Amino acid sequence: MATHEISLTVNGEDRGLEVESGTLLVHALRDQLGYTGPNVGCESTVCGACTVRVDGDSVKSCTVLAVQADGSEVTTVSGLADGDDLHPLQESFRDEHALQCGYCTPGMLMSSLSLLEREPDPDREEIREGIEGNLCRCTGYEPIVDAVEAAAGEMRGGTDAASEEGE
C-alpha cells in the first residue's frame, strides 16, 4: 500500500502522520491520532455521526480521504468547549435531554454549529432542515430541535432567549 505523510491541525494541535492512500479521515483521526469524538455509523455519508469541521466547513469525515485533508484545520467535538466551559450547544443539549446514547451527538453538535453560523435565528422547521444530514435513532429529534433553538437564543444574547422562552 502506498503511504503518504500528511499534517493536520486538530483542535489547535499540529499533528503529522503517515496514512494509506485509502485511509478515511475519520479513521486517521480516531485510530491514528486518538480523536475518538467523531463516530462511524455508516461509512456512506448518510448518518452524520462522523461530522467534523474542516477549515470551518461541516464535513462527514467518513467520506473524505485523510490525504485530501492534508494541511487542513480540523475541529472535532472535543474542540467545541472552551476549556471547562461547555459550548452553549453542549449546555442546551444537556438541558433539553437532546441526547440518549450519544453516538450521533458529536456529529449533531458540529452540524448544529454550522447551521447557527449560517442562520443565527432559525425557526424550528429550519432547524429540522439544517440537521437533516444527521440521523438520530433515540430522541425522535424534537429535543434536539429544542436544544438548538435554545442555544441559538443563548448565542444571540440572553434577552432574546428569555423572551422566546416566555412564549
Partner 1 sequence: MPVETVEAEDVRAGEFAGSAVKRREDPHLLTGEARYTDDVQYPRMAHLALLGSQYGHAEIGAIDTSAAEESEGVLAVYTHEDLTESGIDGTMPAADPENGVAVERPLLARERVRYQGQPVAAVVAEGRYDAFRALDLIEVEYDRLEAAPELEDALAEGAPRLHDAAEGNVCFESETGDEEATEEAFSDADHTVALTVANNRVIPTAMEPRAAVARYRKSEDALIVELSSQNPHSVQDRLSDVLDVPEHRVTVRVPDVGGGFGAKLQPYSGHLLSAWCAMALERPIKWQARRTDDFQSMVHARHQETEIEAALSAEGDLLGLRGHIDADLGGYATGGGVGIPQGTAAMLCGQYDVPAGHVSVRGVFTNTAPISAYRGAGRPEAAYVIERLGSACARELEIDPAEFRRRNFIPSKEFPVETALGRSYDSGDYEKTLDRALEIVGYDGFRQRQEAAREEEKYLGIGFSSYVEVCGGSSGDMEGGLVRMNPEGGVVVGTGTQDTGQGHATSFAQVVADELGVDYDAVEVIEGDTDRVPEGGGTAGSRSLPMGGGALREAAGRLVEKGRTIAAHQLEASEADIEFDDGEFRVRGVPDRTVTIEAVAEAAYSPGDLPEGVDAGMEETAFFTPEGSTAPFGTHVAIVEVDPDTGELGFERYVAVDDVGTQINPKLVEGQIKGGIAQGIGQAVYEEGRYDENANLATGSLQDYAMPKSWQLPEVDWESTETPSPNNPLGAKGVGEAGTIAAMPAVVNAAIDALSPFGVDDLDAPLSEETLWRAARGETR
Within residues 74-113, the interface with partner 1 by CB under 8 A covers: 76-78, 80-81, 86, 90, 93-97, 99-106, 109
| Part of the chain binding partner 1 (CB under 8 A), chosen from 2-10, 33-41, 63-71, 155-163 | 33-41
Q: Which residue has the cell 443563548?
A: 154
Using CB under 8 A, pick the residue from 145, 151, 152, 155 that binds partner 1: 145
Instruction: Using alpha carbons, list the distances in angstroms from residue 18 to 5, 74, 98.
Output: 4, 17, 37
Q: Is the dihedral of CA 137, 152, 96, 123 positive or negative?
A: negative
Three-state DSSP at 15 gives strand
Minimum CB separation of residue 121 from partner 1 in Å reads: 18
Mind giving me the DSSP string for 68-92? GGTT-EEE-GGGSSBTTBPPHHHHH
Shortest CB 159 distance to partner 1, Å: 20
Strand pairing class (51-54; 3-10): unpaired
8 Å CB contact between 166 and 127: no
Distance separating alpha carbons of residues 48 and 51, to the nearest angstrom: 5
- Binding residue for partner 1, selected from 6, 58, 146, 153, defined by CB under 8 A: 146
Instruction: Identify which range of 28-36, 53-61, 63-71, 156-164 contacts partner 1 by CB under 8 A.
Output: 28-36
For the bound state, the minimum distance from the C-beta of residue 29 to partner 1, rounded and expressed in Å, comes to 10
Q: In the set 40, 63, 119, 160, which binds partner 1 (CB under 8 A)?
A: 40
Binding site for partner 1 (CB under 8 A): 1, 20, 22-23, 27, 30-31, 35-37, 39-44, 46-47, 49, 76-78, 80-81, 86, 90, 93-97, 99-106, 109, 124-125, 127-129, 131-132, 134-146
